[in-house]
Structure 1
Amino acid sequence: MANKRAPSTYQRNALAPSLLAAAVLFLAPVLQGGDWYLVPLFVASILAVIVGWFGIQARQWWWAPVFAVIAVLWNPVFPFPFAGSGWMAAQPVAAIVFLVAGAMIKVRRA
């Protein structure tokens, strides 16, 4: 007879959107300057709002300003004219922020 695994007491709602955003942001420097560069901007800003909201729901409000800044900087509607090595380095840094938040934001299951 197989042992049944005990259900987890926590759920990580922000993990999937964080992984998706991190994958897109790690690939964003490759797309910079091309026709497809708006895609990472849309993905990063939308998922930043989603992960920030999950942070608020988990009562970890300190993630809200972090992801508000990411949502504004990667804003595709009124994009900032960022370019160069500083902006290229900001992409993986934001990806790491998404990964850390995805791992840390958790809520207790009911």
Structure 2
Amino acid sequence: MSPNPPRRPSSPAPGNRPGGRPADRYGDDGTLRSAFVPGVLGGIAALVGTAFAESSSGFTVVRYVVAILALIMIVFAVQAKAFVWVVPLAAIAVLWNPVVDFDFHGTWWGVVQVLAAVVLVLAGVRIKVPASD
């Protein structure tokens, strides 16, 4: 054992994070998946919406949740410059908007709700926002 242990650098080397850890360790590519949680929650809400009748007050709450989470994800998609996700997320935000009520019902509306859940989760997984250090 040496009498003087090696010192840690006070500032990280270029390309490293604080603590001397390389920036790409464990797949850290300098991005965050900020849309992941809203995507999963929106997908769950859209699936829960299939259990409610379209005229019930519970479905109105589901519509608020899905529309708001889709709008939040649009902000993250624009920040990540993932504009391909803006159009489907905007369509979800408009169709699930409880203020301007579209009277959709039946089997096709249930299928569209499942597709919306898939789109929300996929967008949440694929949108990567650059991390600001």
Normalised by the length of structure 1, the TM-score is 0.89
Paired-residue identity, %: 34
Query: Radius of gyration: which is bigger?
Result: 2
Q: 2:88 aligns with which of 43, 48, 66?
A: 66
**1:78 paired to 2:100:** yes
Q: 1:13 aligns with which of 34, 37, 41?
A: 34
- Larger displacement relative to structure 2 (34-43 or 15-24): 34-43
The 8 Å contact of residues 42 and 65 in structure 2, kept in 1 or not, is answered as yes
Which is richer in helix?
A: 1
SS of structure 2 residue aligned to 1:30: coil
Q: Residue 76 of structure 1 aligns to a residue in which SS?
A: coil
1:90 aligns with one of 84, 87, 112: 112
Tell me how far apart the structure 2 counterparts of residues 109 and 46 of structure 1 sit (CA, whole Å).
23
Unaligned runs of 5+ in 2: 1-20
Q: Determine if contact 2:76/2:129 at 8 Å carries over to the other structure.
A: no
Higher relative contact order (CA 8 A, sep 6+): 1
Deviations 1:23-67 (A, max 9, x none): 111111111243311011101111111101100100111211111
Measured in 2, the distance between the counterparts of 1:75 and 1:35 equals 14
Deviation at 1:105, TM superposition (A): 0.2
Q: Give the number of aligned pairs.
A: 107
- CA root-mean-square deviation: 1.8
Partner of 2:60: 38
Q: 70, 78, 100: which one pairs with 1:56?
A: 78
Q: Distance in 2 between matches of 1:41 and 1:32?
A: 12
Residue by residue over 1:42-95, the C-alpha shift from the partner in whole angstroms, topping out at 9 and shown as x without a partner, is 011111111011001001112111111111111100110000000011111000
Match of 1:24 in 2: 45
CA distance in 2, matches of 1:107, 1:35: 35
